[in-house]
Structure 1
Amino acid sequence: MSEETAAAPAQAQAAGEDNTAAPPKIPAAPLGRFASYHAKLEALKGINTRRDIVERDLLMELASVNLERLSEFPLLETERFSLFDIMLRRSVDHPAHIHVKNWIENFIVAVNRHAKATINQDQTALPRLEFEVAAAEAILIKCLQALTFQAGLAKDNLSDAIIARHGEQAVQRIDEVSETAGFGEPYFKALIENFAFGVVQAAYKELIAAKRTRLARDGQFLTMTFPFDEVLSRLAGTDKTIAQTRLQEKFAAVAAAPESARTADILAAWLQSGEHKALAWVKGRPDAAHLARIVTMDTVAGQLAAALAGALSGNAADETGGGAKQSDPAADAVCIKDQAAASACGAAIGLDCLKNDFTRALRYFEPRETATIVAPLGVFAPAQVEAVLELLYEFQFLHILRERGESECGKFAIRILRNRRLTPETLSVMAAVGLNRIRQKQLFEPDPDAEGILLYKIKTLPDLDNACTLLNFDERLSAALRQAFETAPLKIEFAVVLNLPKIAKVTTNLSAKVGEILALFGVKP
């Protein structure tokens, strides 16, 4: 059997030591750990504790006595409790939960049997039972380890995105939220309230005070335009490089190193193969490659890749934290696969529960808007989290407009205008492949709010392709324009469009009524 067995002290977590790269073997038999399990289980049985409490407390005991085998396990009790809560309660509707539940049950049964054999001094049964406890223990450690990795990555990537937008002063508030909220809905809700709702509300007031809105009449409609750039420009931001955490570096290293990247590919295929009964739910998941990368961060990954290639070797005695010896290669392979499956389950329940928690933290928005906001969230990757933050700012601004105009909601419509931009840097590239000034005027117009920036006149990629054909652009220029269009930054504006005929039906003084509606938004005629 295989299971990483680092013997570094628990304090290594705080000291910043990496205890997964080359784990030393635990030299002694694990009777100290087993005795802790015996004592905890006996104490719980003695007071007729509910089964769910037994599961929770024994799982907490397992983590407590195996801190040296858990990399990046959080120091904060609130975060630790959140991880246990995900494993035991919040993932109950997840297809992997039944397997996690069974592994916990198996561990409790194995500890109970070993305790009885120890009391009875059953020397015949003890070696086998020691192995069973060590095997069940290793599976739960792998599950908890992957859950820890996934939760930590989600938190680190979200924190980085917030700091990039709000500057270094955001760090203290993020830490305060972490200390009280752990991982879950309260954590996400607190961050959203601090770094989206409040900030956008303040930016709106500054925008109005600076008179940055525009008024324009077009026939029977009067439009107030609010430049969203003005909101984003009021976020502090930072020009400093945000250093990666150890966990982020480990995750990035999986893709960067050819050997671990190959291992991740092998594991991704295995996870989706359905070979292991605990992984039937993985097939068809778009994030299977991500789950495989999480599993690959653990030492069991390389051993599983070798096992799948028919090259399993090693002594299971030293790989279970000091458990009983098991030298059967076939049994070793089964144990390795069980541990890898547990790791994948831990990563998946962590990812899916946190996505559900994030969604619930957005109940402030309408369901359709919430679905739009969380759609890019994916696996909490940096670019995905940044996209979600951008949508949060947009929909919060939209909510402010709706709330301000609620009393007159039937007399106006709110539209979000999105125009693709061509930056000076991209324009230089386009000029080098044949975009002269005449062609430039056919496809672009100046951005009235940003000097040196051009706006695409064309709104869709098919329309751009048609324009390139009609204008007889060569393939090189057409391809460059297409690529620039697909990656172009957006200029976002909010337009509140007043329907003047509809307003006229309910008032005898149209100008005064229009002034009242504009005043709701803080805009003067």
Structure 2
Amino acid sequence: MQNTTVTPQEQDASPPAEIHDRLAAYLRKLALLKERGALRDVMEREMLLEFIRINKNRINEFPLLQVQQNGVINTLGYRSNAHPAHEFVKRCTATFLHLLTQYGKAGQGRDAALADSLRAQIVNNEAVLIKCAQGAVYSAALIHDNFEEALISFFGEGAIEIMDEATERLEMNDRYWKELLDGFIARRVDESHERMIREERYSLRKEQNTLVVQFPFDSMLDQIKGDGRKIEKTRVQKAFEEIGENPQGVLARKLVFEALASEQDVFGDRMTREQRLHTAAIVCMDVVAEQFLEIIKERAAAGNDGVSPEETARLEFVREQVTAMAVGCVLIHDIVRDDFTAGIGTLGITDPRPYRETVQNFEAESLYRTIHALLEGRFLSILKERLADEGGKVVLKTARARRVPAPGIERLTAAGLTRIRRAKLFDPDKERPGAFIFTSRNAKELYGLMRMLQIERELEQTLIQAWEQAEPKVDILAVINVEALAKTTTNLKGRLAEILGRLGIAPVGG
């Protein structure tokens, strides 16, 4: 970490007495740790925790609940130790300890000038550590608020009470996600699967040498989905969205993005372009991004010859705060994603890794799609468990299609979709009156079909938008290879009844 010559008054408007009280509190904690003979790593971690507790009122949206505070503090303090970016936190904390130690000695030696210089450096160091905590707090708040929004969109407003109850008891770690995923995914899928069997919401058909059992995923969703009501965005969500809605925010995000791209020694190679862009937007929620933008503009106007050493030091100091905020954001994001992935284990899903990609940056839309995918994954895991002993004689498949609901079809009609073209592009959805299913299996087929039909430009754009926004129509298929089964038994009828019984469709051996 660099020691700059920026005065504390430029970065901290606190009264001198308040600064004095903070430093005195730090020194008391440091003395206590030294009396206990704490190891260096322990001392750094404990001082970081104490620092955040002392400065919590200087951190926007710092959580009120102690358990949430602990979650942020513990992630920054020790849970992210293995992450490359944690080295930045460790380095800043070590500098903080060193400056405090020197400040204490200067005070005892009555060296007022040295004490004043060290106090200024400590205040600057505080600013960097506070930005690190600020990034962590904003990141954690966005993840929580976006997940809550996705749950409400999927399950209705009753989801709020369940999530709030878990949030009041648990840190946002793997236990937290296991409890939420068990309650919202596992239990609901299990109950709806039993009801689907009980009400015979499935179909059987013969296809060549196979017997196919089809479970319509729509049937399950109909049982568990809420009213899809939208709720008002939280302050944090609004602040995040506003970054992309005004020219200054967009420009600041671009500059922060470029600055983070050059910090590979801090972040390593773990950050994707999308995550860097997301992180830059979170940094822009803080005033430090505005300061960064203004300094860059001033330097551009002055040219290289007009930049003083003090202005260069100021830029480096503000840039370090930008990096610090990004570090806090990335540490929370990556640790929470690890915890979320671990929580998927409660659903019986064999390989949870693909869901890490579905989550993306914990945007509400990404989380909504993830919930849908996890419901499907849990349903498949139930069938896999029941058919575990059947080997290759029964294969589970997923049939997917893209469905456009009635309002979407109306928009397409208004854009020029005729009945003849609709018959080529879509099939009616028998389970959803008014909705239609794309006949194309992928985007390449859709583009080829549009060219063949000589679709006009406006309608083409509307069709592409409908394709991208289409809701998934999913059917789960259990395909029984009757021919292979017949080679392993003299009682084919009994074996088929046994397999169907495992699926809950008929009594075992019936």
Could you tell me the TM-score, scaled by structure 1's length?
0.87
- CA offsets, 1:430-485, max 9 Å, x none? 33444333333333322222222222222122223333344454555445434433
For structure 1, the 5+ residue unaligned runs are 7-23, 313-326
Q: Which residue of 2 aligns with 1:429?
A: 411
1-side partners of 2:149 and 2:415: how far apart? Answer: 37
- Determine whether 1:329 maps to 2:318: no
2:111 match: secondary structure: coil
2:218 match: secondary structure: helix
CA distance 1:214–1:262, shift in 2 (3 Å) = same
* AA aligned opposite 1:292: A
Of 258, 273, 289, 1:269 maps to 258
Q: Judge which range, 442-451 or 476-485, deviates more.
A: 476-485
1:492 match: secondary structure: strand
1-side partners of 2:227 and 2:414: how far apart? Answer: 33
1-side partners of 2:225 and 2:340: how far apart? Answer: 24
Of 287, 291, 296, 1:308 maps to 296
- Determine whether 1:396 maps to 2:378: yes
* AA aligned opposite 2:224: L
* AA aligned opposite 1:33: R
Q: Which residue of 2 aligns with 1:420?
A: 402
Q: Which residue of 2 aligns with 1:218?
A: 207
1-side partners of 2:497 and 2:10: how far apart? Answer: 72
1-side partners of 2:408 and 2:8: how far apart? Answer: 51
CA contact (8 A) 1:164 1:237 kept: yes
- Determine whether 1:54 maps to 2:43: yes
1:303-452 equivalences in 2 (<5 Å): 303-310=291-298, 328-364=310-346, 369-452=351-434
Give the Å deviation of 1:3. 8.4
Q: Which residue of 1 aligns with 2:189?
A: 200
Q: Which residue of 1 aligns with 2:105?
A: 116
CA contact (8 A) 1:415 1:496 kept: yes
For structure 2, the 5+ residue unaligned runs are 1-5, 301-308
* AA aligned opposite 1:309: K
Give the Å deviation of 1:341. 1.3
CA distance 1:432–1:330, shift in 2 (3 Å) = closer
- CA offsets, 1:120-167, max 9 Å, x none? 221121111101211211111110110111011111111221122222
Instruction: Report the count of equivalent residues.
Output: 494
Q: Which residue of 1 aligns with 2:483?
A: 501
1-side partners of 2:259 and 2:355: how far apart? Answer: 32
CA contact (8 A) 2:8 2:123 kept: no
2-side partners of 1:164 and 1:283: how far apart? Answer: 29
CA contact (8 A) 1:223 1:495 kept: yes
- CA offsets, 1:384-428, max 9 Å, x none? 111111111110011011112223243211110001223222323
CA contact (8 A) 1:3 1:299 kept: no
1-side partners of 2:405 and 2:156: how far apart? Answer: 25
* AA aligned opposite 1:250: A
CA contact (8 A) 1:177 1:191 kept: yes
- CA offsets, 1:173-228, max 9 Å, x none? 21222223212211111111111111111111111111110111112111111011
CA contact (8 A) 1:359 1:374 kept: yes
CA contact (8 A) 2:349 2:378 kept: no
2-side partners of 1:482 and 1:65: how far apart? Answer: 53
Q: Which residue of 2 aligns with 1:25?
A: 13
- Determine whether 1:128 maps to 2:128: no
Q: Judge which range, 99-108 or 366-375, deviates more.
A: 366-375
CA distance 1:2–1:140, shift in 2 (3 Å) = farther
2-side partners of 1:510 and 1:404: how far apart? Answer: 19
Give the Å deviation of 1:334. 2.3
CA contact (8 A) 2:131 2:321 kept: yes
Q: Judge which range, 100-109 or 471-480, deviates more.
A: 471-480
2:32 match: secondary structure: helix
1-side partners of 2:381 and 2:214: how far apart? Answer: 15
- Determine whether 1:468 maps to 2:457: no
RMSD: 2.7
2-side partners of 1:215 and 1:462: how far apart? Answer: 32
